[in-house]
A and B are shown apart, each in its own frame.
Chain A
Amino acid sequence: MKRIYTCFLILVLLLCGGCSYGKTQNENASSSCDIFAMDTYMTLTAYGKNSDRALEEAENRINELDKKLSTGSPDSEIALLNKNGSGKLSDDTLYLLDKSLEISKETNGAFLPTIYPLMEAWGFPTKDFKVPDDSVIENCFSLFDTDLINENKKEGTVSFKKQGMKLDFGGIAKGYTSNEVIEIFKKSGIENAIINLGGNVQTLGKKPDGSLWRVAIQSPNEGDEYLGILEISDKAVITSGGYERYFEENGVTYHHIIDPKTGYPADNELVSVTIVCDDGLLADGLSTALFVMGLDEAIQFWQNHSEMFDVILMTKDNEIYVSDGISDLFSTTYEMNVIER
């Protein structure tokens, strides 16, 4: 008889194991909203009693920034500056100019806000893609020098010393916007939130249940599981890869991250760069810059700035390099190397 009881016990245990999921009920009030802005799709989720109002405020702020910064809409501040070669800018746009020049200098031009004429030559803004002639690329090189940007801080005006120069803050605009959204949430008393602006993730606090947010990083390899999963709180997680925006011509794939030094899409060992940082704007700019730098230079750059951010790199050989500040919080099925300080 004892044996029969044992069998029943096994049966009960197995059945319980099979149905112990799916009972979690969220006690916290939460609000979410989806927004199409900045030529991308955004989702915002905030927890807490002021979340509805905070989301509304955030949405207004996003639309306000979109209006100012969109190179695509002809009457934006940035489009007018590019068209006229001079113009008066709002505090937001001036702030982005200063920040982008700072990152450009720090990354030795791997991030470059004056690259826009070359992006136009490749057809990325209009999606009329084409490989530009060498002479066109050469001409664009002559418009890159950031010292030719004249800024009058008192008047809030900016002008270019050379005709044809154009600025684009697309490389940091979403990062700045996610910083601003998180600030709005903080001021509204929100303690837990996660936002995703076209693949740029930023988190506030932890999850309402006190656990860390689980952010997956998309793999560049098709049909793949994620590149890996990162557990974080209070951080921006921003990835750059050549697999998101690209086109093909004569059997060759050209992606949208152009190396300012060659004038062609960055072509090195790296296929994906993720920056983890308190500051979404910095993470946004650095993800592009480190992608352009390539593996060795990116590792070196992190080692010189390890207090500012953490990094996850993936190479063409499917090897992953993770900086030691987050290696304990990152899991992946790929071969993983830890970068020491």
Chain B
Amino acid sequence: MNKKDIMLMITMLLIAGVCYLISNLTRNENGNQVKVSVDGKIYGTYPLYEDREIDIKTDKGNNVIVICDGSVSVKNADCKDKYCVKQGHVSKKNESIICLPHKLVVEITGKNEADKAIDSIAK
């Protein structure tokens, strides 16, 4: 095996590695979304991999949702029990944060049906 062959092989591997990384990253970007609904009606859908803050103001009350670094949490809420804030962060498909008093559901949805995805979460 001469030097040129080795160089070629390394270049190929590098290209392959970069392609693999790109396709993986875009999969995440395309795959997971944050679906916010209030009383069964969709309020909005946002990419999980774009940081933002969402102010939800409805006649039931207010919640502030934060999407940051691929995970979602409820930062503030004016509900009585604050369970939605205490639930912390969620980031995986089918995970959700629920604010019962405000009938708010923040759910991670995925376009891609990954082989090993979870169908439901018992808690």
- A residues with CB within 8 A of B: 3-4, 7-8, 10-11, 14-15, 17-19, 21-22, 24, 26, 34, 36, 39-41, 43, 127, 194, 196, 199-201, 207, 213-218, 222-223, 226, 229, 237-239, 241, 244-245, 274
- In contact, B12 and A11 (Cβ under 8 angstroms): yes
Contact of B122 among A3, A24, A239 (CB under 8 A): A239
CA distance A65 to B27 in the complex (A): 43
Chain B, 94-123, CB within 8 A of any chain A CB: 94, 96, 98, 100, 103, 105, 111-123
CA distance A213 to B118 in the complex (A): 8
| A41 vs chain B, min Cβ distance (A) | 5
Assuming the contacts A34-B40, A127-B81, A223-B89, asked whether A218 and B123 have C-beta atoms less than 8 A apart, the reply is: yes
- In contact, B113 and A24 (Cβ under 8 angstroms): yes
- In contact, B103 and A218 (Cβ under 8 angstroms): no
Assuming the contacts A7-B8, A36-B100, A223-B88, asked whether A214 and B116 have C-beta atoms less than 8 A apart, the reply is: yes
Assuming the contacts A10-B13, A11-B16, asked whether A244 and B123 have C-beta atoms less than 8 A apart, the reply is: yes
B9 within 8 A of A: yes
- In contact, A14 and B118 (Cβ under 8 angstroms): no
Q: Chain A interface: which of B17-25, B51-59, B61-69?
A: B17-25
- In contact, A18 and B23 (Cβ under 8 angstroms): yes
- In contact, B27 and A22 (Cβ under 8 angstroms): yes
Chain A residue with minimal CB distance to B6? A3
Q: Which 9 pairs of residues, A with B, have the shortest CB-CB distance?
A: A218-B123, A14-B16, A199-B123, A18-B20, A22-B112, A18-B23, A7-B12, A216-B118, A239-B122
B46 within 8 A of A: no
- In contact, B118 and A214 (Cβ under 8 angstroms): yes
- CB neighbours of A222 from chain B (8 A): 88
Most buried by B among A4, A22, A36, A43: A22
Most buried by A among B12, B27, B117: B12
Contact of A218 among B13, B16, B40, B122 (CB under 8 A): B122
| B70 vs chain A, min Cβ distance (A) | 14
Chain A residue with minimal CB distance to B116? A214
| B91 vs chain A, min Cβ distance (A) | 10
- CB neighbours of A3 from chain B (8 A): 1, 5, 8-9
| A305 vs chain B, min Cβ distance (A) | 20
CA distance A217 to B119 in the complex (A): 11
A–B pairs, 23, beta carbons within 8 Å:
A10-B16, A11-B13, A14-B16, A15-B20, A21-B114, A24-B113, A36-B40, A36-B103, A39-B100, A40-B100, A43-B120, A194-B119, A199-B121, A199-B123, A201-B122, A207-B119, A213-B119, A214-B116, A215-B122, A216-B122, A222-B88, A226-B121, A239-B123
